[in-house]
Amino acid sequence: MPEISAGLRYHHNEHGATIDAIGARPDGMDYYVAASKLFIDGLFGRYTFVNLTLDVTDADQDDLLGFDGIGRNGSYAHDYRLEPGISVAQFITRRVAVGYEFRAMPQNQLVGYNALGDAVSRTDPWQDIFAAWFINRHLSMTAAYAHLGHIASLPGQNGAYVSLTAGF
């Protein structure tokens, strides 16, 4: 049986005036349900981890640009959408895993129904590939390449990510 979780996330964007100017709200709520499973004897006889998530959201670029969009009548368009996400990790050794993540994003109209609004509103799914090294039970390092696509009319928002995590 997978581990099942459900919940909600409240977001508040500190740049309220900027968010208002593009036709979004600075505050919003997302809802989710997720199922996670670690297969002990997965691919190649190694651990395989899979997570499936369904988000009910109206966030713009995962709340980087606020919530909602504007309807054709000029008011906020409260339009929640069901957006899927998946994460898969395959352990190569007991301490090294590689994987892939994908997260769909809602397409909300921002600024207005014109060329500028279309450019700012364009949203691509977010995805990444990663490798994680679990150095010991207290220390891990992750390296990833993230492909985020268009964010706020800027194409090619992609790049490398490195993280060192300690827990005691």
pLDDT in tens, 126-146: 999 999 999 999 999 999 999
Binned at pLDDT 50, 70 and 90, residue 72 comes out as low
Number of domains within the chain: 1
Average of pLDDT values for 52-80?
Answer: 79
**pTM for this entry:** 0.82
> Are the C-beta atoms of 85 and 104 separated by less than 8 Å?
yes
In the three-class reduction of DSSP (H, G, I as helix; E, B as strand; rest coil), residue 149 is classed as coil
Q: Return the bridge partners of 146, or none.
A: 128, 159
Which residues constitute the domain of residue 81?
A: 3-166
**Using H for helix, E for strand and C for coil, what is the string for 2-17?**
CEEEEEEEEEECCCHH
